[in-house]
A and B are shown apart, each in its own frame.
Chain A
Amino acid sequence: MKRFFVLALRVFLGAVFVVSGFSKLIEPFANFLAVIHSTRMATGLPAQLLAVGIPWAELILGAFLITGLWTRISSFSLWVLNTAFMAVITWALVSGLPMKECGCFGESFFSFSLRQALLFDALLWVFFYFLWLLDKPKHGVYTHR
């Protein structure tokens, strides 16, 4: 039962990030770069690096999580990314930035308002917590799984 639950969590979380990364990557690069600019947290080269790096990290780490490769590292990295997204969205809401859409899934599949995105990210955060708790390695963090 526990193994099934862990597998379901891994596949669900992995799939969310695969879809999120893929949908950003198939859109023109400039669209996600504009989302990063709209958070007012980065401009110029740092913003460009984030616009390239975030979707690829989501896609590849999500694929690793689904396929069961480097699960501890992948889930932890995606958890950190998820926490960072929550922080950025909270910042955008608190400072009243004129962002209508979170850009979480590019604009190909779903469109979330900032509040919806924050709720969804909070749910994912809880799922990551359970995954981290239940999927403990027997011999330390970097053991083969």
Chain B
Amino acid sequence: MKRIFTSLVVVLICVGSVLATRYFRWSVGDYSDGARDLLRSQGEPTAPFRILEYMDYQCVACRLANELLEDFMRKNPSKVFWQVRFFPLKGHHHTLKAAITADCASRHGKFWVFQQTLFDKQAEWGPRSTAEIGPLFDGYAQKSGLPAGEIQSCIDDPRTQETILTEKKEAKALGVRETPTFFINGKMIVGIQMFKEELISMQKELDKKK
């Protein structure tokens, strides 16, 4: 009897310490309609599904997630509001540079076109050397209709990189550890498999309402 009581106390201590740590540690993913965020968003802000994505341009799963979400938005126009934030991973050598260039593209209204180019050409620029990457991105930027001179000053501005690293720091505080990580109406979704399952359940929910 005494052993059962002690066991119960041990279990309660375990549960209590986990709940207390979680309570003080995490907050729910935050959406923002600030100017910077709106430059990297698409869809209606009042849409029933608000998706905040943390991504990395060298991550293959992010490319697949991008395709899935594009497809979902095509099938369900006006049902999704999609915001992108950067989470450049360690070990992906050109991903920060890609994020900086994409952020600069967003200031000229070309974010989505440039992002698509980055994903389409992922296999081409991923293995390149650091010296090759600048001219390659310049080429992509020009193809995306970006003014060459203006974008270069934005890329060289240390504040652009600072913005992205701050974004990553904020993401870590939300519990983001890898990419792609989504917050769909506040619910955290990590990885492509979970995202596929979530899109299926979102589709079912929309079909029910039709």
| A interface list, Cβ under 8 A from B | 22, 25-31, 33-34, 37-38, 43-44, 59-60, 63-64, 67, 69-70, 98, 100, 107, 144
Pairs across A and B, CB under 8 Å, 13 listed: A27-B175, A28-B190, A31-B177, A34-B191, A37-B191, A37-B193, A37-B194, A59-B14, A59-B18, A60-B10, A64-B7, A69-B10, A70-B7
B188 contacts A28, CB within 8 Å? yes
Q: Contact check: which of A33, A67, A69, A98 meets B190 at CB < 8 Å? A: A33
How far, in angstroms, from A30 to B173 measured CA to CA in the complex?
Answer: 15
Q: Is B46 in the interface zone, CB < 8 Å from A?
A: no
Contact string, B12-27, partner A, CB cutoff 8 A, digits 1/0?
A: 0110011001100110
Number of B residues, CB within 8 Å of A: 26
| B interface list, Cβ under 8 A from A | 3, 6-7, 10-11, 13-14, 17-18, 21-22, 25-26, 60, 91, 175, 177-178, 181, 188-191, 193-194, 197
B68 to chain A, nearest CB (A): 15
Q: Which residue of A lies closest to B190 (CB)?
A: A34
Q: Which residues of A contact B7 (CB under 8 A)?
A: 64, 69-70
B139 to chain A, nearest CB (A): 29
How far, in angstroms, from A28 to B11 measured CA to CA in the complex?
Answer: 21
Q: Which residues of A contact B6 (CB under 8 A)?
A: 67, 69
B17 contacts A30, CB within 8 Å? no
Q: Contact check: which of B22, B26, B91, B194 meets A33 at CB < 8 Å? A: B194
How far, in angstroms, from A63 to B14 measured CA to CA in the complex?
Answer: 8
Top 7 A-B residue pairs of the complex, sorted by shortest distance between their CB atoms: A34-B190, A34-B191, A28-B175, A37-B193, A30-B190, A30-B188, A25-B18
